[in-house]
Amino acid sequence: MRVSILGAGNWGTTLALMFQAKSHVITLWEYDTEQAEAIARSRRNEKFLPGYVIPNAIRVTANLTRALDDAEVVILAIPAQTCRSVVRLIGSISSDGIIVSVIKGLEQGTGKRISDICGEELRDFETRQYCVLSGPTIATEIAAGLPSSAVVASDCHVSAEIIQREFSSATLRLYSSDDVTGVEMAGALKNVIALAAGICDGMKLGFNSKGALLTRGLAEIARLGETMGGKRQTFSGLSGIGDLITTCTSPHSRNRTVGERIGSGEKLKDVLGSMVMVAEGVWTARAASELAAKTGIEIPIIDAVCKILFEETPPHVALGQLMARDLKVED
């Protein structure tokens, strides 16, 4: 199978290595010409996935047209906030092609999911051509060959089964689902809760606080996700609680790490300025808060994260406001 992976970050590069090992023909697209040439020349991506050799069989290019040439599957492994501009450049895919998103974020300003963006920007695009792959998938662990599981969702069971069959391996077990909305919402929103979990770690609030945060955070994810059309059982699965636990506890989670640094007293602009990778939860927090306000859904933890990030509310003040909320029945 001819696979084009758009995005040469740690996740995109990891997928290229995995899928090439299964004898798929892989093209890895990197938007930065200098970076693409460096990867192609050295056969390494030290910026995002140090220590791994990229086989010569993987074609690396900064030319999007060349990257998409004859692709049967196009994998979107780019930041959510640049997705629309890249998908617009793609223009269209073949009638029998499949797009697979591994992006975990909502578009700031619109609250749109990646499936929405593809539907708006691709000509003659049908929902049966879209899949989303999500779950507890820390890239460095998968690159190291540690066992992992994830879910691939599509409105079309045939498309989901194709991706499930072609991309499952001895170390990556894929389950299928028909809940695109639920999987996308779960993947995006868990990054915001991971920021909150990191803030807890930075403030040294202990395990009781973190356990409560994850539990109530999952309730917010499910509440907003269901309102947008997701199925409740999805939030109890790999793309929901599975990914939430991993992202909120792993030292490799960039969103948890950003939160920890903020909880320790650093400013958001300084934290982001020191990073080479994108923390999707920062931008998704605002998009989710605005989406919830429009639909009348209460998401106090996510709203508190927004106050800390964008209104410079001190974490201890935001915590006090959460703890002082009216008492209620657990939902």
Q: Please give the helix or strand (H or E) that residue 222 lies within, else none.
A: helix 206-227
Sign of the alpha-carbon dihedral angle for 142, 58, 80, 184? negative
Which secondary structure element, helix H or strand E, spans residue 108, and what is its range?
Answer: none
Q: How far apart are CA 288 and CA 106, in angstroms?
A: 7
The span from the CA of 110 to the CA of 174, in Å, is 30
- Does the annotation mark 294 as catalytic? no
- Amino acid identity at 253: S
Residues 6+ apart with CB under 8 A from 142: 14, 18, 148, 171, 172
104, 112, 190, 210: which is the annotated catalytic residue? 190
Rounded Cα distance, 285 and 224, in Å: 12
Q: How far apart are CA 327 and CA 221, in angstroms?
A: 20
How many C-beta atoms surround the C-beta of residue 76 within 10 A?
Answer: 25
CB atoms within 10 A of CB 83: 23
Q: Is the separation of the CB atoms in 36 and 60 below 8 Å?
A: yes
Residues linked to residue 172 through DSSP beta bridges, in sequence order? 148
**Strand ranges (DSSP E) for 159-280?**
172-177
Residue in 62, 53, 116, 55 with CA at minimum distance from that of residue 87: 116
Q: Which residues pair with 228 in a beta bridge?
A: none
| Length of the chain (residues) | 331
Amino acid (one-letter) located at 275: M
Catalytic residues: 190
